[in-house]
Structure 1
Amino acid sequence: MSIDISTHTGDFTSLNGDYDLDAAHSSLEFVARHAMITKVRGTFDDFTATAHIDGANPAESSVDVEIKADSIDTRSDDRDAHLKSADFFDVEKYPTLKFVSTKVTVTATNEIEITGDFTIKDVTRSLSIPFEFTGSATDPFGNERVGFTGEVDINRKDFGLTWNAALEAGGVLVSDKIKLQLEISAIKRA
């Protein structure tokens, strides 16, 4: 039995089809500054996404992402409980975060920008995320996979996440700027 583990690192314009996120090989991470001195990292562990990719006509491409708010994980049960509370994500009232693309643009051979409506709680803002197309490959199970990596900064206050606490020495407990880091692996539908 032969296994094809070939990798294709061509450009985004060579892609075509419908894809489903492989959550087991993808990550949605965020970084916030805590107490003005250190970074705290976290993830959302339960998310789904679909994409239609038309590399020849990127404007016809689309992405739809849904993230379960209560899947937030910062490696601290107390902090996670606070983030799930009404002070932050209010997961009882707003169980999902959503991103629905409105525009896909090729910005360089292996780079795209996906602009869309990002909704946290009841606030929707336009967000543009630059992504690097990291390649495609056929895995040992015959699945055609594509990979992307992206990173963008957002201001949490723009989405109604305003809770904070002042520090004695000045400054605040939680930074307004949050860095989102995305590693995406998706499988083409048969």
Structure 2
Amino acid sequence: MLKKSLLALSLGTLLCGAQAMAADYKIDKEGQHAFVNFKISHLGYSWLYGTFKDFDGSFSFDAAKPEASAVKVELKTASVDSNHAERDKHLRSADFLNVAKHPTATFASTSVKSTGEGTADITGDLTLNGVTKPVVIAARFIGEGQDPWGGYRAGFEGSTRLKLKDFDIQKDLGPAAQEVELIISVEGVRQ
């Protein structure tokens, strides 16, 4: 009887310990359930929107302990798409993203701090245009659960603002266009 009780206690401890650990997710790039979009003022008259079509990444997440989470993303800068071929060519040039010299941008989290129910600040190192700077992404948990294909998913959205000059982007389009807002939406499949 004592052996059965000890075995049950050991199994219970293992199962509870496993549930308390962060799960690893791969960002669902294949199913196009992830987006890295941007918004910047066009001369102070309107908004210019765009996206990056080629990126990949992963995250680990535990709803019970969000501060144990982590995020890594790599983005191909040449995949910028603002729905205008000539503008995209200019965005890829040395005036902006300099994709010939810096074909990738990366983000690796260094800490996650809960800011409320389902929200967190994700601090990490962003490397863009050959410059690495710390940034904070204000993130919101959207949901998690089983998908119709037998997998398990979790989704988040977040945003941050970047000063272009901080990343050695020197092209000046006037005072209204000094910052760009990144809007990120990701859905990950648990591995």
TM-score by length of 2: 0.84
Task: For 1:33 and 1:25, locate their aligned partners in 2 and report how far apart those are by CA, in whole Å.
Answer: 26
Which one of the candidate residues 8, 16, 21 is aligned to 2:22?
Answer: 16
Deviation at 1:57, TM superposition (A): 3.9
Contact 2:122–2:137 (Cα < 8 Å) also in 1: yes
Equivalent-residue separation in structure 1 for 2:44 and 2:176 (angstroms): 7
1:10-89 counterparts in 2 under 5 A? Answer: 16-23=22-29, 24-89=32-97
What is the identity, as a one-letter code, of the residue corresponding to 2:86?
Answer: D
Please say which structure displays the higher CA radius of gyration: 2
TM-score by length of 1: 0.84
| CA drift at 1:51 | 1.0
**CA positional deviation for 1:105:** 1.4
Larger RCO, structure (CA 8 Å, separation 6 or more): 1
Change (3 A) 1:40 1:98: same
Matched residues in 2 for 1:135 and 1:15: separation? 18
What SS does the aligned partner of 2:177 have? Answer: strand
1:61 & 1:182 partners in 2: Cα distance? 17
Q: Which runs of 5+ in 2 are unaligned?
A: 1-18
Structure 1 vs Structure 2: percent identity of aligned residues?
A: 35
> Given the superposition, is the C-alpha separation of residues 41 and 14 from structure 1 closer, same or farther in structure 2, using an over 3 Å criterion?
farther
RMSD, aligned CA: 1.9
Structure 1: where are the runs of 5+ without partners?
1-12, 166-171
How many angstroms does 1:28 deviate by?
0.5
1:120-177 C-alpha deviation (Å, 9 max, x unpaired): 0111110011111011121110111111111221111111111125xxxxxx287011
The CA distance in 1 between the partners of 2:71 and 2:82, in whole Å, is 26
Structure 1 contact 143–188 (Cα < 8 Å) conserved: yes
Which residue identity lines up with residue 89 of structure 1 in the other structure? L
Alignment pair present for 1:111 and 2:125: no
**In structure 2, C-alpha distance between the alignment counterparts of 1:109 and 1:14, rounded to whole Å:** 18
The number of equivalent residue pairs is 171
Q: Is the 8 A contact 1:15 1:55 kept in 2?
A: no
Q: Deviations over 1:75-125 (max 9, x none)?
A: 010000001011111111100011011001111121111100001011111
Q: CA deviation at 1:56?
A: 4.0
Q: 2:22 touches 2:68 (CA, 8 Å); kept in 1?
A: no
Higher helix proportion (structure 1 or 2): 2
Matched residue, 2:170: 162
Matched, 1:183 2:185: yes
